[in-house]
Amino acid sequence: MVKSREWSRKTREDVITLHRKGNDYKKIAKMLNIPRETIGSIIRKFKAKGTVEMLPGCGRKKMLQTSTVVRYLKRRVEKSPRVTAEELRKDLSDVGTEVSAQTIRRTLRNEGLHARTPRRTPLLSPKNTKSRLQYAKSHVDKPQKFWDSVLWTDETKLELFGPMDQRYVWRRKNKAYEEKNTLPTVNHGGGSIMLWGCFASAGTGKLQRLQGTMNSLQYQEILDDNVMQSVTNLRLGRRWTFQQDNDPKHTSTSIRAWLQIKGWNILEWPSQSPDLNPIENLWWDLKKAVAVRKPKNVTELEAFAHDEWAKIPVDRCKTLVSSYASRLKAVITVEGCCTKY
């Protein structure tokens, strides 16, 4: 039954005042523009309880009334986030508290704890964690001018029908498999391309498609064709710094020797640290922008990628680099573990 409207205290007091003056229900209802049934209800309540105040309801009480049980649930999920509501229900049942799994979910939600899909992060070994922390501490006080002169680089994969092409659909029950409500899938994303790209605080640099499986020799050719041109276009100056991750192709003996000959200043890099490379944010932007254009084949996929890469605003690049110290501070705060970046 839907709860009826609660009239203000003044309105209820006016009803009682008019009733005491000898007015009948019909007349009071007309004077106050209130249904006659409501007038009767207010007067009967006053006669029975001697007040016009709203009284506590008599609805169903909470199944989990004790703060001890609620504290137990909170401690349990904070210590073991993967525990299920059904497992918690069994735990409470073993000690004599019978509640449903749904009641447990509702209680935890009321306490600000919600079931969510866990974020995917790189698997960090103790060595990785130590290396990340050391990197953050040794670079956190670098001046902004240094970060503005870094050329950030990386590779990424774009799929023709990748995860960025997913959408929600509005549908009725039992209509999930109607053609208009489905998202066709194909093996291996229906075709894909690998891209190498770079950027700096001043904007995006060169973007190049990789052909076949990249090895150290192809990587060397990509750097030779793109890095110095990007450095010039972005006006990084003579004291610029080159960043790359620790992919084996990037750190092979031949590449290290080649980089030494080039004389580039190389930014030391901790393994398993995509959250420390701001180009990952630009890859996300690029994939979203390309997905919106719905390329029909790999040729369009590559063309759209180059087009959207060039459209990325300089302000976006500048913001990512200017906030780099925040990434380092976040790593220090979590003692080398993964961060939200």
Nearest one of 220, 241, 222, 219 to 231, comparing CA atoms: 241
Do both 78 and 145 map to the same domain? no
204 has a pLDDT exceeding 50:
yes
Surface-to-core class of residue 65, CB atoms within 10 Å of its CB (0-12 exposed, 13-18 middle, 19+ buried): exposed
What does the pLDDT read at residue 185?
Answer: 62
Cα torsion 298, 303, 309, 311 to 10°: value is -140
Do both 192 and 245 map to the same domain? yes
Share of the chain above pLDDT 90, in %: 53
pTM, whole model, 2 decimals?
0.70
What does the pLDDT read at residue 130?
Answer: 96
Do both 160 and 225 map to the same domain? yes
Structural domain including 84 reads: 67-110
Do both 165 and 270 map to the same domain? yes
Asked if residue 117 is part of any domain, the answer here is: no
Domain count along the chain: 3
What does the pLDDT read at residue 149?
Answer: 96
Q: What is the pLDDT of residues 307-317, one digit of tens each?
A: 999 999 999 99
Do both 324 and 192 map to the same domain? yes
Pairing state between β 192-200 and 150-159: antiparallel
How far, in Å, CA of 210 to CA of 305, rounded?
Answer: 13
Res. 169 pLDDT band, cuts 50 70 90: low
Do both 146 and 288 map to the same domain? yes
Q: What is the pLDDT of residues 15-62, one digit of tens each?
A: 989 999 889 888 998 889 888 888 888 898 888 888 877 666 555 555
Asked if residue 35 is part of any domain, the answer here is: yes
Do both 90 and 208 map to the same domain? no
